[in-house]
Structure 1
Amino acid sequence: MNKLLISSLFCVIYCFFACNSPYTPKPTGYFKIDFPEKKYQLFQAPGYPYSFEYPVYATITKDSSFFGETTENPWWINIDFPQFSGRIYVSYKQIGAKNNFDTLIKHAFTLTGKHTSKAYSIDDSLVLNPYNVEGIFFRVGGNVATANQFFLTDSTRHFLRGALYFDATPNEDSLNIVNQFLIEDVKHLINSFTWRKQL
């Protein structure tokens, strides 16, 4: 009887101390993402004043409206990444009396600068690709709607602007791995970009 009582008492004491171990919270984690293999195809649609290479896991659609308004010309497109709920909005403008070159440059910087309230950094770097296409690439740090933006131009006739957006609440930590993956595709687009004669 004594042995049974001692054993029971020991079990109760053991359970009491075992249940009071300090709580260790589970660290925040994100879903594992399986990235596709990098492979590119050529966008060279008839009549478009530009061409470039884009990933096989992306689709291109013509953008016919801008905030409910008709686009300025028929050469605006969206490059969609359905697997990542991402999209590169591409707008094109012809430099001329209506679209002054200096105004287009200023506007590109202004659009990027709109993120200053949530950004902790905005880095810009000059672009010059093998086809002598020039421009600027913007990398915006922080919980912003678009962390990667760019514009490309020949400074006399053509001006193209692109911005990568995600259909998600801006969160730099959770989007970082996808941003790093797609930034390679944005840079490939820029490095393969050429101006074409309109057909």
Structure 2
Amino acid sequence: MSRILAAVIISVLFFTACRPDTYIPKPRGYYRVDFPEHAYKNFDSAGFPYSFEYPVYGKITQDSADKNPFWINVDFPTLGGRIYLSYKQITPATPLSKLLEDSYELSYYHDKKADYINTPAFHNKNNVSGVLYDVGGNAASAYQFFATDSSKNFLRGALYFNVTPNADSLRPINEFLRKDIDHMLQTLKFK
């Protein structure tokens, strides 16, 4: 009797233990990013036709891609991002309409990968106005903008990261830097 009972117990254990494992995938995870406090300092370099406030955790560097001395970058080394700023003077050879068209084309080039592009306009107390292109989805640049005084000065900017675009993983950083871009645009002043 004890042999039969032992055989039944062993056979029950054998059949219940041989079930195939059910694969449960782990949820996708991203690196945690610790953000600094929003604080700003003034960029007002001698000879530059514009000034603005930028984040203290940003670093101003000269843009090496062009010989224009007023083209600079705001680098965010801890976040892996960079805002490219390109300045042009409005002249008869480069009228405002041409600069606006170029800015539109450069921003809507990302339409191929973008889920949407919102274009809220802004106007600051220094009589500077423009458009901030909010590009959604896996586009290479989440934010692009232009700012002008409509008579002499035109500044274009674009935020890029040194990684493959992934809207989900970059969303927290993009949202964090959006506040800084808004602050830069609200304090932008042409001389």
Tell me if both proteins adopt one fold, taking TM over 0.5 as the criterion: yes
1:13 has 2:8 as partner: no
Q: Counterpart of 2:116 in 1: which secondary structure?
A: strand
What is the aligned partner in structure 1 of residue 30 from structure 2? 30
Q: Counterpart of 2:119 in 1: which secondary structure?
A: strand
1:156 has 2:151 as partner: yes
Q: Match of 1:13, as an amino acid? A: F
Q: Which digits, 9 at most, give the CA deviation of each residue in 1:41-72, with x for residues without a partner?
A: 11111111111111111100011423xxx33x
Work out the CA distance in 1 between the residues paired with 2:43 and 2:190: 12
1:133 has 2:111 as partner: no
Q: Counterpart of 1:111 in 2: which secondary structure?
A: helix
Q: How does 1:110-129 map to 2 (within 5 A)?
A: 110-129=105-124
Q: Which digits, 9 at most, give the CA deviation of each residue in 1:58-114, with x for residues without a partner?
A: 100011423xxx33xx11100001112110000001111222111111111111111
What is the aligned partner in structure 1 of residue 171 from structure 2? 176
RMSD: 1.6
Unaligned residue ranges in structure 2 (runs of 5+): none
Work out the CA distance in 1 between the residues paired with 2:7 and 2:56: 73
Structure 1 runs of 4+ with >4 Å offset = 3-7
Work out the CA distance in 1 between the residues paired with 2:111 and 2:82: 22
Aligned residues: 189
Q: 1:84 aligns with which of 52, 69, 79?
A: 79
> Post-superposition shift, 1:177?
1.4
Q: Counterpart of 2:111 in 1: which secondary structure?
A: coil
Q: Which digits, 9 at most, give the CA deviation of each residue in 1:10-58, with x for residues without a partner?
A: 43233223xx242211121111111111111111111111111111111
Work out the CA distance in 2 between the residues paired with 1:106 and 1:137: 14
Work out the CA distance in 1 between the residues paired with 2:64 and 2:44: 18
Identical-pair percentage: 44
Work out the CA distance in 2 between the residues paired with 1:11 and 1:120: 54
Q: Which digits, 9 at most, give the CA deviation of each residue in 1:155-196, with x for residues without a partner?
A: 111100000011111111221111111111111111111112
1:96 has 2:96 as partner: no
Unaligned residue ranges in structure 1 (runs of 5+): none
What TM-score do the two structures reach when normalised by structure 2? 0.92
Q: Counterpart of 1:83 in 2: which secondary structure?
A: coil
Q: Match of 1:138, as an amino acid? A: Y
Work out the CA distance in 1 between the residues paired with 2:146 and 2:79: 23
> Post-superposition shift, 1:5?
4.2
